[in-house]
Structure 1
Amino acid sequence: MADELRRVAFVLWPGTHPATVMPALAVLRSANRMAEAELYRAECYTLDDQPLLSPEGWRLPAAQWNGEQSGHAHIWLVADGMALPSTIPVGLAHHCRNRARDGYTIGALEGGVYPLAMSGLLDGHLCAVHWRMIDDFRERFPAVKAGSELFAQDRGRLSSSGGQATLDLFLALLAEERDPDLAAMVAEDLVVERLRDGSERQRVPLRNRLGSTHPKLTQAVILMESNIEEPLTTDEIARHVCVSRRQLERIFKQYLNSVPSQYYLELRLNRARQMLLQTSKSIIQIGLSCGFSSGPHFSSAYRNCFGITPREDRNQRRAQQAMDVAAKA
């Protein structure tokens, strides 16, 4: 096993919670301990002169990135999904492009996919994006092949959707760069139940989200989630899952305390709200893509569910975002 030291740079955007990078640091630290050698040296940087301090008081030692740092085998752009970057410094983008051109690994953790995409280094590449951000990301960066996998590795571009997926990505990287046996030892050291492949989907298994293992309920909800733009009728869903309409209604009532039509409507409205707040698509476009036949129909159903019209909801969110930006200025 090669034991040469590899320096790894993590460049963190303002507002990033230290926990965003902790899974990666945990893998590198454990790798050094298991190998009884310094295989990796993690170096954290910020874009300003402010310390990395979480609301809970966590402090992560970091130096300020000044563009003069060099010698890193990996460069990772890191941002919190709750504080997405709007720009990338020209010097940092230039540095990353030069390193990528020389064959070095460039990666992103959670919201870090935004500045990496802004640099142009993700164009034409696969990229893992957290499911909450994926609609907005796809709209802003159509040249990037954004997916909802746990993590992605594509021709020197690595990306994690965040959270536990970052740990999975670094274990996979450790197995490739060093030794699969070392990766297995690190996984055991970190009490990881199993090594997950990057192609696995992000979402929690449906039966866990529903709190039920009833197979017909699971099949029905999967059908609903797969047919948002052109909704199925309750009779069609019952026919697809091979039960009667009355039996399907009893299952929904027993496990979800709802009827299929109401659950389906709320599912479509929640998808619409996500698109409304994350994309710049028109309200009419969003309504049609979520199965509503007209603007008034969509607006009425939205107001009945959320107590506010789609337009009012979007305007309030934009006003709040503008206030947050002004407060940070």
Structure 2
Amino acid sequence: MTTKVQTVKLTDVGKPRRFVFVLLSDFTMLCFAAAVEALRIANRTAETELYQWRILSETGEGIACSNGCQFGVDGALNELERDDTVMLCGGIDIQSATTQKLLNWIRREARRGVTMAGLCTAGHSLAKAGLLNGKKATIHWENQDSFAEEFEDVKLTKSVFVIDGNRITTAGGTASIDMMLKIIADDHGEELANAVADQLIYSAIRTDQDTQRLSIPTRIGVRHPKLSQVIQMMEQNIEDPISPSILAKDVGMSTRQLERLFRRYLSRSPKRYYMELRLQKARNLLMQTDMTVINVALACGFASPSHFSKCYRSHYNTTPYRERGTMSSRLTV
């Protein structure tokens, strides 16, 4: 039994557009596979070669993604054609994967006018190379805190993907599909993009106006508008925490009512919940940046390193210094 494939007839398609996927160490398989599959299905649906792609690694040797699967590649970093589109595929520990050799190559190709995209965490590599200064960009939500601290000149958003001129960034995972569908639509029309989405069984196409994380009510499993509003204010004010009394006043309730609300739905006080948010951000900064422990403490609203260390140890059963040391030892194994 054969499956009938919906086809979209196109005219004047011209020269195939070429994508160059650069796989970085421990890249995320999903963000890469989703992007390539969208291109493959576009070719199949149009019954013509609209897109070509090559796969490179820094050395030209095979490379492993974060789940351990090994990928063969077509070659090493080399000089590209000016109308190529580079797709850097990042994943775990993007800081280590962003080598000086990679940065030199990115800058050289960007000067020649090549379009550059950073999938998943690879927006960090583009920012490190200086390619995102003054531009809008996004990155996986887990890396947003460290990215914002390190690259102040980048207009960081929480969008699923961002296309700003010839710079493209995605939040990772299935965001590659949304980004590719946008590119396909721009290149060859909405009909083809929708046909590709149908083949992917992808019924909820997101735009660059959609945010990557679930809504607060969905994340916490509670639909209470005032509780969601308070948590949003907490998340937006980590460096300068707001007192529970002011939070309560801002949503039109008493401090005691706010306490009861948190204990009823989240089984903790507002103060405790706020502290956990701050410590979570602190842990992200410790694991993903070279910021000093003192600067991490200040960025997360702690007045002194000693108070920060005490709170961190109470929550994570280790100190910030040991946490960073443990992370460093894992990376060198």
Q: What band does the TM-score fall into relative to the shorter chain?
A: 0.7 to 0.9
Percent of aligned pairs sharing the same letter: 32
Q: Does 1:25 align with 2:36?
A: yes
Residues 88 and 119 in structure 1, CA contact (< 8 A), matched pair in contact too: no
Query: 1:327 aligns to what?
Result: none
Partner Cα distance (2:324, 2:67) in 1: 30
- The two structures have a TM-score, normalised by structure 2, of 0.85
Question: Secondary structure at 1:112's aligned position in 2?
Answer: helix
Q: Secondary structure at the match of 1:264?
A: helix
Which secondary structure does the structure 2 equivalent of 1:293 belong to?
coil
Matched, 1:67 2:90: no
Q: How many residues align?
A: 320
> In terms of mean alpha carbon deviation, does 121-130 or 3-12 score higher?
121-130
Counterpart check, 1:319 vs 2:326: no
Does structure 1 retain, via aligned residues, the 8 Å contact 2:59–2:77? no
- Once the two structures are TM-superposed, the CA of residue 23 in structure 1 deviates from its matched residue by 1.0
1:86 aligns with 2:98: yes
Query: Which residue of structure 1 aligns with residue 54 of structure 2?
Result: 43
Judged with a 3 Å threshold, the aligned counterparts in structure 2 of structure 1 residues 268 and 83 are, in CA distance, closer, same or farther, namely closer
Q: Residues 229 and 138 (structure 1 numbering): CA distance in 2 closer, same or farther, change over 3 Å?
A: closer
> Deviation at 1:58?
4.1
The answer to whether structure 1 residue 8 and structure 2 residue 19 are counterparts is yes
1:70 CA displacement: 4.1
Aligned equivalents of 1:55, 1:299: Cα separation in 2: 31
Deviates more, 1:263-272 or 1:79-88: 79-88
CA–CA distance in structure 2, aligned partners of residues 223 and 140 of structure 1: 23
> What is the CA–CA distance in structure 2 between the aligned matches of 1:310 and 1:253, rounded to whole Å?
28
Task: Indicate conservation of the 8 Å contact 2:94/2:124, yes or no.
Answer: no
Between the aligned partners of 2:123 and 2:235, the Cα distance in structure 1 is 26
Greater Cα offset, 52-61 or 62-71: 52-61
Q: Distance in 1 between matches of 2:299 and 2:64?
A: 41
Maintained 8 Å contact 2:262/2:270: yes
Alpha carbon RMSD of aligned pairs, Å? 2.6
In the alignment, which residue of structure 1 is the partner of 2:3? none
Q: Deviations over 1:37-68 (max 9, x none)?
A: 22112221222343244576645442122525
- Matched residue, 1:225: 235
Q: The residue matched to 1:11 in structure 2 has which SS?
A: strand
Secondary structure in 1 aligned to 2:162? strand
Structure 1 residues without counterparts, runs of 5 or longer: 325-329
Change (3 A) 1:76 1:254: same
For structure 2, the residue ranges without an aligned partner over 5 or more in a row are 1-9
Change (3 A) 1:112 1:33: same
Q: Indicate the SS of the match to 2:141.
A: coil
In structure 1, the residue matched to 2:274 is: 264
- Distance in 2 (CA, whole Å) between partners of 1:139 and 1:146 is 11
Question: In structure 1, which of residues 161, 168, 172 is the aligned counterpart of residue 178 of structure 2?
Answer: 168
Q: 2:141 pairs with 131, 151, 156, which one?
A: 131
Distance 1:284 1:56 in 2: 34
CA distance in 2, matches of 1:58, 1:255: 41
Matched, 1:147 2:160: no
Which SS does the other structure have where 1:7 is aligned?
strand
Q: CA deviation at 1:157?
A: 1.2
